[in-house]
Amino acid sequence: MGYAVNEKTSATPLALRAEGLTVRAGDFLLDAVDVEVPTGYVVGMVGPNGAGKTTTIKAILGMVGRSSGFVELFGEPASRQAARNAQIGVVLDRPFFSPDWRVASVGTRVGRFYPTWDADRFAGLLREFRLPARTSVGALSRGQGMRLSFAVALCHDPRLLILDEPTGGLDPVARAELVEGLREFMVDENHSVLFSTHITSDLDGLADFIQVLDGGHSTYRGTLDDLHAQFALVQGVGDPGRDALRAVLGLRRARDRFEGMIRVADSHLFGRDAELSAATTDDIVVHLVRAGHDNEKGL
Amino acid sequence: MRILLAPSSAMPLYEQIKDQVRAAVYGGGLNAGDMLPSLRRLAADLRVSIMTVTRAYNDLAAEGLVRNEQGRGFVVRPVDSDRAKKALEERLRAALRDFVGAARAARLTRSEAAGLLDTEWDTP
Amino acid sequence: MIHFLALDLHGLVGRRMRLLAVAAMLIFFGIDMGPAFAIPLAAVACVLIASDLFLMDERGRLDILYATLPVGRTTVVLGRYTTVLLEFLVAAVIGNTVAMLDVDFGRAPLGPGMLVMMNVVGFVIVAVGLAVQLPAFFALGYTKARFVGLVPPVVIAVAGLSVGRKADILQGLAAIVRGRGVSVPLEAAAVAGCVIVLAASVLAARALYVRRRL
């Protein structure tokens, strides 16, 4: 599937460029995945569980070794972890602090590693996020843990935030709060975000670019707008014809009804009895993934 | 200038932004030399992606309504009065089409519709 | 590395109850077993509690934290070895103090030769114990490596007990020390050997930790 980026953004400097990331882990293979995060934009990475989102992010962060590929940050090879990590903030699905540490002490413990650490900002964020400073990390709720991770990730003034499934298991209020925080972060034009999630609605109105991963492959990369402009849902009754059916991604049939997704460019193949409708990001991801699985099965 | 979006509207979000900026410029809410709200600030406030606002602003620049000044942002250009008039007329016509459509759907007579218009006109 | 060391030592503060318990155990055994025995026992205690740091890493997913901090994995390895050796230093000070108090109470004579020898023995225990344990913990993490981590303490305990039971061996050892004086070259060689073993262990731990998937 083509990589659609318009001329304007391809000229934008890249905060992150990863090329041909290949990781073998048991039966799983992350197969030559490319990732690009243009400076000043939000890239959402979506796909079902086990698609390779976490492995991709861990390979970018040097947490797992890659058998091939390279990572560039802000135009320079990201070979030295120390230099690389000084400029990025990381939020994962769960906090990575000792459960015995008190919330306020996390700032002291982690902050000493960064010359740019802003202790006042950390204290301010704890208040803003309503985090109990004297409680231990282990006693925090899921949402509080995520807010603490987010606060820690922000206080050394990173240029790039990398988030891996931060919203999993969160209630809608906590999710909205994180997304709001990311919007504030993005007001600075030098900031960029890479955000993986399987809850695609987190990305609506936030992500500028989207990348779909499935089975260790990257199956779509482009702007979210293009994604929506490119695909539509189709459903109808009867037989629309061979060519038309072949154009349907993730085709499902029940009795004489058919439904699936098509490229808008293929809409002429369908007669007036077929009904076209706009697809949500979720619809598109589901059908792209389904189409990939159908291809594998040789349907 | 206030921009309000209707996320459920059939009109794309960037079109809604363009529409409202246009209305403000032609209606006198924004004058030549005024700055449009910062692109990134507006994106955060409206809860839309940066690219959505970028697209709206770039379209407006292409229309000649605003210009992108490097390092400053988008500045409103002096309004070409012919175009402003045309744009306002176009808006009015669109509103009238909606009005007439709604009136017909409600099976009003022409004079009943005109009466409604008169009442609305006199309401401050 | 100083930042990592600070983080590690900051974490130790949380373990002070456990450290106190180990120290109390030391004093008890040290007094019971005779002069200067507190010193090698302090070393044994050190080897026993070294795995604690890795347990805390695993509980708090701290390996992930280290991987997000602006420090390399080499720094983590060097910092961790330094922390453990600092622990030994503190334990050795406690052990020596207990030994001195023992002497002050007039329960046993303790020559400088014996004192030096016991400290060398302590260092050998720590060096060998850590050299085996730490690379395993760095390679596998606490849970998977805890059995490997148990090997040196068990060996030390078994050896210590069997030696302790045979009082005549101890007496012979003491006689050698008293009779011939301290064999300085032998002790120097032992210390040098241990430093080399530790250095090799650091290199092995680094090579293993760099490859570990977090």
Interchain contact, C69 vs A110, CB within 8 Å = yes
Residues of chain B neighbouring A183 (CB-CB closer than 8 A):
43-44, 47
C-beta atoms of C10 and A109 within 8 A? yes
**What pLDDT was estimated at residue A228?**
86
CA nearest neighbour of A164 among A18, A54, A36: A54
Write out the two tokens for A210.
């989207």
**Do the Cβ atoms of A81 and C73 come within 8 Å?**
yes
Q: Residue A223: its chain B contacts at CB < 8 A? A: 51
Secondary structure (H, E, C), C34-58: CCCCHHHHHHHHHHHHHHHHHHHHH
| Residues 209 through 228 of chain A touching chain B, CB cutoff 8 Å | 223-225
Alpha-carbon span C189 to C179, nearest angstrom? 21
- Shortest distance, CA B41 to any CA of chain A (angstroms): 6
pLDDT of residue A267: 84
- CA nearest neighbour of A148 among A130, A164, A162, A160: A130
Compare CB distances from B49 to A187, A188, A205 and report the shortest one's residue.
A205
Nearest Cβ partner of A186 from B44, B52, B55? B44
Cβ-based neighbour number of residue C127 at 10 Å:
23
C70 vs A85, A92, A94: nearest CB: A85
Q: Would you state the pLDDT for residue C20?
A: 67
Look at C68 and A61 and tell me if their CB atoms are within 8 Å: yes
Question: If you search the block for the tokens 């020559």, which residue do you land on?
Answer: C111
Whether B96 has a pLDDT exceeding 60, the answer reads yes
- Which of A85, A149, A194 should we substitute to test contact with C (largest number of C Cβ atoms within 10 Å)? A85
CB–CB of A65 and C62 under 8 A? no
User: Closest Cα partner for A152 from A84, A96, A93?
Assistant: A96
Helices (H), A20-141: 53-60, 81-85, 103-111, 119-128
pLDDT of residue A298: 65
Min CA distance, A206 vs chain B (Å)? 4
Local structure of residue A97 (DSSP, 8 states)? S
At C162 the pLDDT is 66
The pLDDT of residue C165 is: 57
Q: What are phi and psi of A101, to 5 degrees?
A: -70, 140
Q: Are A186 and B44 in contact (CB under 8 A)?
A: yes
Mutation for B interface: A195, A206, A226, A227, most B CBs within 10 A: A206
State the Cα–Cα distance between residues B65 and B78, nearest whole angstrom.
8
Residues of chain A with pLDDT under 70: 1-11, 298-299
CB A157 within 8 A of CB A118: yes
Intervals of chain C under pLDDT 70: 13-20, 23, 26-35, 102-110, 149-150, 152-153, 156-157, 159-183
Q: How far apart are CA B29 and CA B14, in angstroms?
A: 19
Calculate the alpha carbon distances from A52 to A288, C104, C211 in Å. Answer: 15, 67, 20
Mark which residues 182-211 of A lie under 8 Å from B by CB. Answer: 183-184, 186-189, 205-208
Residue A16 burial by Cβ neighbours in a 10 Å radius (0-12, 13-18, 19+): buried
Q: What is the pLDDT of residue A7?
A: 41
Record the pTM: 0.84
Residue that has been written with the tokens 């900002």 in this structure:
A121
* Residue B51 to residue A41, Cβ atoms within 8 A: yes
C211–A65 CB contact, under 8 Å: yes
CA separation for the pair A229, C39 (Å, rounded): 75
pLDDT recorded at residue A2: 35
Which of A25, A97, A113 is nearest residue C71 as measured by Cβ atoms?
A113
Top residue of C69, C74, C75 to mutate, by most chain A CBs within 10 Å, is C69
Give ipTM to 2 decimals.
Answer: 0.88
Take residue C211 and report the two structure tokens written for it.
């490859």
